Chain A
Amino acid sequence: MELCDLPAHELAARIRNREVSAVEALDSALARVRAVDGDPGRLEGFREDGDRVHAFITLTEERARARAISIDEKIGKGEDNGPLVGVPFTAKDIFTVKGVLATAASRILSNFVAPYTATPIQRLEAAGAVMLGKVNLDEFTYGSSNESSAYQPAPRNPWDTSRVPGGSSGGSAAAVAAGEGAFSLGTDTSGSIRQPAAFCGVVGLKPTYGRVSRYGLIAFGSSLDCPGPLARNVRDAALMMNAIAGADPRDATAAAVPVPDYTADLEKGVKGLRIGLSPDYGQLTFFNHDTGQLDARPLPKEISEAVARAADLFSNLGAEIVENVSMPHTRYGIPTYFVISRVEASSNLHRYDGVKYGYRTQEKVANLRELYRKTRAEGFGPQPKLRILMGMYVSAVQYAEQYYQRALRVRSLIRSDFDAAFDPNGKHRLDALLTATTPTTAFPMGQLYGDSVLMQYADQLTVTANHAGVPAISIPAGLSSERLPIGIQFIGPDFSEAKLFQISRAYEEATETESWRAEKPKVLATV
């Protein structure tokens, strides 16, 4: 096994014990990038190789090498370098890192060199991790496939490069699955960590809103955005959370809740825990363009079977499975999201104007208004434009009551579903709700792109946790008959990340010897 395929916790232990150096770990990860990634994304003149992952936008090799050398020197002197010492990782290119391009996968930030570093990145580096580079995403995180990135070629799924890696943290999930870094820092606004994690067969956690600081995260939906980990196993995700969670004087929404050691309860099992199943998550809603109506249909069989198998497994391990938990407002997750996220996105996108930073039109303009118009027309792709227009419409004075205010109230109802399910004195008293993560496995590139409604419905099982603010994790739960990863999701009450890790680890441990665990993404067949 190559160093780049080792779990982060094992690699850090070997570096700490001086069995291998941080430079060797870095070289192994870089060799993997060269072997599988192909050309990085760019705005023009890109070269696509259909067999490559194309996860990266910016490789920060020199910066990484300088850090790895300095780590090795410190280890040589016997200095402690943190729990993630020398572990190479990637960051979704929506976080700022001082002196490094921060593009948000948009032309409008294509020349933006960040003057400061995002808190979660600064904390990962303080824990000893070494950033390999910035990876691709949907433009400004607006999508579920990565195809909307202004930086092409878009990332591909390492399990089948004709398929999408999911999104918007698609570059992150693809890189982690392919061994390009042991873990990645992503963000989740409606499922953008969990959906790509499910599609690429990795672990992805959306923490509780406010658990991880958003300082240095380029904003999408400010009441929904959560930075969080993508990793190849549960322990690594927990270690990442140990590093990034916690209050931050630079983010007033970062909650003042003490950070536990997320690895402490990992091996405690699920005996006595109450895990719920809801029929409202077993049914998918699809918008039928022919009739203009929402149609319902059951989850694909392979996905619902993965959920049922997990429930059986937990039952055998001593958990109590609580069936028929009613979550009646689940189906309103997407319509509510179409309103709230658009209002927040359009507000956040007004700052890109070609004046203060980022792209400015090269055309001659008569006045400032024309500068704005030309800059934004050239700088934004279709997805940001759509969000700006919808956000302005549903928050306009004459429509706000009908749409925006109503959506904020429906969010209360979605939250009340979870409050009832997790209420320690309630009917169900759940520790976690078990659901599928996605309505399908990874879909072919080009299948949904362009249809903004169908694309949004890819998030229907994940978006409710963002509305409610509660934490949710996706973990690998097998492969479909097409050898594509299937993800299952656990959703828990506020700040219950440690328990979600505990449940996830129990599943991981109990399925360790299953044959699908030995299968690797196709792109690794030739390395």
Chain B
Amino acid sequence: MPSEISKELFEHLVELAALGLKPEEAEYLHNELNKQLNVIEELASISLDDSISAASHGVPYSASIRPPLREDQIIPSGISTEILDQTPETEAGYIVVPKIPHETLE
């Protein structure tokens, strides 16, 4: 039986992802997700024995090709002003954000 992302789960994912969606957009995305999931289910049919390990990269990074670790040195970027120039709102070199919501834990 193929899996399906329910409406409740979809809404939960949208909330976790911090995405506000318009109704027609939500309907399209929800539908596409389930179509994609149908394809992904193909993976369930492959028999995988314990000898097959997960590959975090295709290319095995053997010691001979792995770049050496850098010296632990401070190299000033010299571009902190340019980086902060890209920030929507700053004050005295600090990034300004609206109030951070919080809940008091029991």
Contacts and interface: CB of A to CB of B under 8 A. Distances in A.
Interface of A: 98, 112-113, 115-116, 208-210, 223, 247, 249, 252-257, 287, 289, 292, 294, 331-332, 334-336, 338-339, 346, 353-358, 360, 365-374, 376-377, 380, 382, 385-386, 388-390, 392-394, 402-403, 405-415, 450, 452-453, 456, 466-470, 494
Contacts of B52: 409, 412-413
Q: Main secondary structure on chain A at its contact with chain B?
A: helix
B65 A257 contact: yes
Given A256-B66, A292-B38, A373 B58 contact: no
B59 interface: yes
Given A289-B35, A385-B21, A415 B55 contact: yes
Given A115-B79, A294-B42, A373-B20, A209 B59 contact: yes
B40 A338 contact: yes
A335 B39 contact: yes
Contacts of B21: 377, 385
B67 A366 contact: no
Contacts of B82: 98, 113, 115-116
Q: Main secondary structure on chain B at its contact with chain A?
A: loop
Contacts of B85: 113, 115
Contact of A336 (B43, B48, B56, B100): B43
Interface string B7-34: 0011001101111110001001100110
Contact of B40 (A355, A360, A372, A394): A394
Contact of A367 (B25, B39, B77, B99): B99
B17 A388 contact: yes
B92 interface: no
A236 B56 CA distance: 32
Contacts of A494: 59
Given A335-B43, A372-B18, A467-B58, A255 B65 contact: yes
B46 A413 contact: yes
A377 B41 CA distance: 29
A453 B9 CA distance: 21
Contacts of A410: 43, 46, 48
